[in-house]
Amino acid sequence: MALPYQWQMRVNRWKQIFGGMLGGGGEKRPKLCPACGALVGIHATRCHECGTSTQFSLAALSKGLSEFFGGHAPVTVVLLIANVLMFGLSMLGSIHAGQGSGLSLLWSMDGITLYRLGSSNPFAFFVEHQWWRVITASFLHGGLLHIGMNMLVLLDIGPILEELYGSARYLFVYILTGSTGFALSVYTHHNSVGASAALMGLIGAMIAVTTKRSGAAIQAMRSRLISWVVSIFAIGFLMGGLIDNWGHFGGLAGGFLLGKILADRQPMNARERTSAYALGWLAAGVAIASFVLMFMHYGDALPGTR
């Protein structure tokens, strides 16, 4: 029996996404290089323009996933979905623990649930060597207001950086700056969660980009970004221990450094594209491994109960 039309379209889309990774399925017609878009022959195993493999290509998989998850800013969409899913798990855990009812969900979550889901914690990091917490903590939030504000910022500045760097390098910047922020946080003995360390990394990268360019519009953007940073740190000082300024500073510094190092444009040739895809898939692999480790240790005994 034939599949419904909607499912036929989905199956075709999945074939396009994952078929290119192993040579484009069984199509017997010329195809486009997934990296540079050049027309290549039916039996070609490598693009004659940029040298990208058509038999096993991370470029093909990356391009397919980009189209599947929203086209212009696919990584931003994936990060948004991941944060919302983790918030959903946190909320369910908090409700099950009897601490997530009514308006309390606006500003609080069950601490034990957040710990099990991978919040930043100095004891777990230094004593139990759970390094993956500096990554998983970026996808956890302490309430609806917390995730709401952070996701608005992500949707505001994320697509700008993703278009500037390309999706692969953008993901690398996001994951690395989030982890540098939480690494500094645990080093200064803070327990915290939130995407703000990574978001500060994106802001730091944007500030670094503006220092490489001139013009009135660029200067105005840099002034607004610096004012934004000053305001965030001022609020952090005024609210005492409720906001982790050390985590913010670590993300900001990491983003600024990467913004100085990385070329502020998308990859332009085969070598640059290969390097960019390698960075992106490295970041994705580390993030996935971190979540796997988090779920593997989810049922571990809590500190002080062993």
pLDDT by residue, tens only, the chain of 306 residues: 555 555 565 556 555 544 444 444 444 555 666 555 566 556 666 666 565 555 544 445 555 555 544 557 889 989 999 999 999 999 999 888 877 666 677 778 888 999 999 999 999 999 999 999 999 999 999 999 999 999 999 988 998 899 899 999 999 999 999 999 999 999 999 899 999 999 999 999 999 999 988 888 888 888 989 998 999 899 888 876 678 899 999 999 999 999 999 988 888 887 888 899 999 999 999 999 999 999 999 988 888 666
Q: Do 95 and 86 touch, CB atoms closer than 8 A?
A: no
Per-domain residue ranges of the chain: 73-296
Q: What is the CATH number of domain 73-296?
A: 1.20.1540.10
Annotated active-site residue in 62, 138, 196, 290 = 196
Residue 119 is a catalytic residue: no
Q: By CB neighbour count within 10 A (0-12 exposed, 13-18 middle, 19+ buried), where does 240 fall?
A: exposed
Longest dimension (CA), the chain: 65
Instruction: Please report which residue ranges of the chain form alpha helices under DSSP H.
Output: 5-19, 58-68, 74-96, 111-116, 122-126, 133-136, 144-165, 167-187, 196-211, 216-238, 245-261, 270-296
Annotated active-site residue in 66, 146, 248, 290 = 248
pTM: 0.78
Give the three-class secondary structure for 53: strand
CA 57 – CA 304 distance, rounded (Å): 48
CA 107 – CA 249 distance, rounded (Å): 23
pLDDT for position 8: 60
Start-to-end Cα distance in the chain: 57
Nearest to 205 by CA among 236, 163, 245, 152: 163
Residue 185 is a catalytic residue: no
CA 92 – CA 104 distance, rounded (Å): 13
CA 195 – CA 146 distance, rounded (Å): 9
